[in-house]
Structure 1
Amino acid sequence: MSIQVSRLSDPTVRSFVAAVNAHDKDAFETLLAPGATMSDDGSDRDVADWTDREIFSSNGHMDVETESDGGRVLVVSYRNDTWGEMRTKWRFTVDGGKISRFETGQA
């Protein structure tokens, strides 16, 4: 059972998930703080390169299963054309309505 995007608690994270699922790169990029960082399975990655490969050029989609920490930690059934579907955990650091860091990895 997934949580509707509109019901996610944190408005910035809600917008992040909506932008990913709509494949809206411009909306996605406006959510990131200048110099935003990210990691995948514990290794820091280049945000622009990673999001292009793992989200935008491969039709990434997030179905949120659970949220915690005020909506800043999500367990997601994530799928894209490269890897298929996998259960992932996403943790967001939000400052002033912008995402300064996100971390993802296998859940």
Structure 2
Amino acid sequence: MSIPAESLSHPAVRAFVTALNANDRAAFREALGPSAAMSDDGSDRDIGQWTEKEVFSAHGHMDVQSESADGLSLVATFHNETWGEMRTRWQFTVQEGKVLRFDTGQA
């Protein structure tokens, strides 16, 4: 059973997931800090290029299965039109209500 985005406990993570699932680029950028960074499967990636390819142009969607670490760590089924569906982990670093970094990869 998945956890609805609006029920996620951490407000910054909730904003991130809600924007991602709505395919809302502006809201997604708003959820991130000004110098946000990310990694995928342990490799740092350009956040703009990665999100365009894996999320926005491929209609990425997260179905959150569990959260821990006060809502800063998620396990989710991630689906996009490029790769299909996979079980993923997401770890967030948040400061002043914005996501400064997220690390994702297969769970």
Query: Who is 1:13 aligned against?
Result: 13
CA–CA distance in structure 2, aligned partners of residues 85 and 47 of structure 1: 21
Give the unaligned 5+ runs of structure 2. none
Write the deviation string for residues 49-81 of structure 1: whole angstroms up to 9, x where unpaired: 000000000000000000000000000000000
Query: Who is 1:28 aligned against?
Result: 28
Query: Who is 2:105 aligned against?
Result: 105
Give the unaligned 5+ runs of structure 1. none
SS in 1 for 2:70: helix
Which amino acid letter does the alignment assign opposite residue 46 of structure 1?
A: D
Query: Who is 2:92 aligned against?
Result: 92
CA–CA distance in structure 2, aligned partners of residues 76 and 49 of structure 1: 21
TM-score (norm 1): 0.99
TM-score (norm 2): 0.99
CA–CA distance in structure 1, aligned partners of residues 50 and 7 of structure 2: 27
Q: Percent identity?
A: 59
How many residue pairs get aligned? The number is: 107
4+ residue runs of structure 1 moved beyond 2 angstroms? none
